[in-house]
Structure 1
Amino acid sequence: MTQMTSRAKQAEATKNRIYQCGCDLIRKHGFDQITVEQISKAAGVSVGTYYYYFESKFDLFSEIYKKGDEYFLSHVANSLTATEPLEKIIAFFDKYADFNRLNGLDMVKKLYTSDNKMFITKGRAMQGILSEIIEQGQRDNKITTNLPSQEITNILFIAARGVVYEWCLYDGSIDLNQAMKKTITLMIYGLVPG
């Protein structure tokens, strides 16, 4: 395994500092209300340094979703211990609820807007993981084949985003994991063939 040089470590630390400062500003003010100049100032770097690591303000926003996909690939994909596909789907969305809570209510409120098209970006790892679970369930005749796995994935994410949005509306006063489990459980039992 190759060790990072001190210069590479410093570069990674700078990028992470810019990212964290950007996230903090998004939490406080919303994505549209902040500028690259504000993010750079908060991170203690020049605007040029910001642009060295991120092509635009939107690139920083995309990084939030990239980190979400990385989280699902590294922490969720291989940690789902349920053997039945329907139980695995419930466990997947429990992790989705956990991930939203980890991001914090203020950040999630800023992300859940109709202007945010990252939720519907095709080819994201998070959706791929769920599609694989559904495809396995379809092969095992545990999940209906009346709809393609990608369409089922989209429908389940629509429901999950609705639960997270409700959590935001109630300022985090509902139990997100419990509400997610109830909603997803009700939905997936409509997927059982027969």
Structure 2
Amino acid sequence: MNKMTNRAKQAETTKKKIYKCGVKLMTKYGFDKISVEQISKAAGVSVGTYYYYFKSKFDLFKEIYKQGDDYFLNEVKGKLKSNDCQGQIIEFFDEYAKFNIENGIDMVKKLYTSDNKMFITHGRAMQQILQEIIETFQKQGEISEELSSAEITRILFIAARGVIYNWCLCDGELNLYTDMRIIISKMLNGIL
């Protein structure tokens, strides 16, 4: 097992601090209304240090999505308890709801805009994990192969993003878990 050097630990701490300060500012003011200089100042680092860890302001924004993908890779993939197709997919979207709730309504509101194309970026781990689940159940004959696993994944994420967007419109007052389960279940009834 490789031990981290003190310098590596310090570098990781600095990057996390920049990230947290950037996310805090994005949540408060919005992505377009903050600058690298403001993020650097809030983190107590120079602009050069910021650019050592992140190539651009957008790079920091992409890190938010990387964190989401990492969460699904480390906490969700292979750990869903349900044995049946519908149960696993609903459990997957329970985790999606949980992840958004944990990020907080203010942050999620800033992310859910039509200008944000990160949601439709192909090859993201989160979507790949769901696609693999669907492929497994297609091979077992539990899901029709009329639609490809990629198309089913796309459809389900469109529905899930709609549920999250509605949650944002209602300022987080709705029960996101309940709404997510209802909508995804209805979608699955139409697909399965």
TM-score class normalised by the smaller sequence: over 0.9
Q: Percent identity?
A: 64
Corresponding residue number in structure 2 for 1:128: 128
Corresponding residue number in structure 1 for 2:190: 190
Q: Count how many residue pairs are aligned between Structure 1 and Structure 2.
A: 192
Tell me, yes or no, if structure 1 residue 161 matches structure 2 residue 172.
Answer: no
CA distance in 2, matches of 1:144, 1:61: 37
Normalising by structure 1, we get a TM-score of: 0.98
Runs of 4+ in 1 over 4 A off after TM superposition: none
CA distance in 1, matches of 2:11, 2:48: 14
Give 1:95-114 correspondences, 5 Å limit: 95-114=95-114
Return the letter of the residue paired with 1:93.
F
Shift of residue 78, structure 1, vs aligned partner: 2.2
Corresponding residue number in structure 2 for 1:23: 23
CA distance in 2, matches of 1:11, 1:44: 14
Corresponding residue number in structure 2 for 1:83: 83
Normalising by structure 2, we get a TM-score of: 0.99
Corresponding residue number in structure 2 for 1:92: 92
Corresponding residue number in structure 1 for 2:179: 179
Give ranges in structure 1 of 5+ residues lacking alignment. Answer: none
Shift of residue 137, structure 1, vs aligned partner: 1.1
CA distance in 1, matches of 2:185, 2:137: 15
RMSD: 0.5
Give ranges in structure 2 of 5+ residues lacking alignment. Answer: none
Return the letter of the residue paired with 2:113.
T
Give 1:51-90 correspondences, 5 Å limit: 51-90=51-90
Return the letter of the residue paired with 1:148.
S
